[in-house]
Chain A
């Protein structure tokens, strides 16, 4: 991965998963119960809700001052983020005037530069590409 690292989080918080589930009216047990996650083949850690992963990716654009200019988000979820994971957002920094950008959220699975697993890829469109009313 040669893109810039735009945002990172060292320890995906397990206690936040219940907050996401409440807001989403979603009681999917893989987010709330380690035993359920393991029973369903996700391993012994709770699975971060997908919208939380997308929020991490959007944080990188908020940090660049472009969070309020987003008009379109196309995202593909390729894998799961688990409690305690280290994650990072990589891509081209969003600069003023840029019409869209592509970002990746990845899990850091080890100490090496190659120990990166992309879990979410997204194209984000900004003002100027606002969809038809």
Chain B
């Protein structure tokens, strides 16, 4: 596993994410949510989806770059989302990501686990749309 210092210095490439009406409809269906009315923004979960899905590399690639055990099935530990405006459909968003923490800790669920915290800023190219911080828990505490 990378040291905390190495993880914080790791540069995640900037990414983009296209929130289409069709994608919003598919995720609403997957979530068993009501359909979108004409002028309505995307389902509010789209802030999270655009951030992680639009990161400049996949979560597997980032995990492997940091020496984390992706094959052991990481799970989400928590998230904090600040929505400055609703995520609109048929818009393209720019995603900037940084690693804000990486720590190995005792885990009630897994015995020992690596905790990775990522911070995302989602903009529409000029204005900030949302900020997302998420904590992922990698069971086992050892790279696969």
A69's closest neighbor in chain B, by CB?
B86
Contact B83 A55 (CB under 8 A): no
Interface 1/0s, chain B 30-57, versus A by CB < 8 A?
1111100000110111001100111100
If A51-B48, A71-B83, A131-B82 touch, does A29 touch B41 (CB 8 Å cutoff)?
A: no
A103 at the interface (CB under 8 A from B): no
Q: CB < 8 Å: which of A13, A42, A74, A130 contacts B30? A: A13
Tell me the chain A residues, 65-83 only, with Cβ under 8 Å from chain B. 67-68, 70-77, 79-80
Within the assembled complex, what's the spacing in Å between the Cα atoms of A58 and B42? 12
Within the assembled complex, what's the spacing in Å between the Cα atoms of A20 and B54? 13
Contact B41 A25 (CB under 8 A): no
Q: CB < 8 Å: which of A36, A59, A131 contacts B31? A: A59
B77 at the interface (CB under 8 A from A): yes
Contact B49 A24 (CB under 8 A): yes
Tell me the chain A residues, 3-51 only, with Cβ under 8 Å from chain B. 9, 13, 16, 19-20, 23-30, 36-37, 40-42, 47, 49-51
Taking residues whose C-beta sits less than 8 angstroms from the other chain, chain A's interface range is 35 or more
B65 at the interface (CB under 8 A from A): no
Q: A-contacting residues of B (Cβ < 8 Å)?
A: 23, 26-27, 29-34, 40-41, 43-45, 48-49, 52-55, 58-60, 70-84, 86, 109, 128, 131, 139
Q: B-contacting residues of A (Cβ < 8 Å)?
A: 9, 13, 16, 19-20, 23-30, 36-37, 40-42, 47, 49-52, 54-56, 58-59, 61-63, 67-68, 70-77, 79-80, 130-131, 133
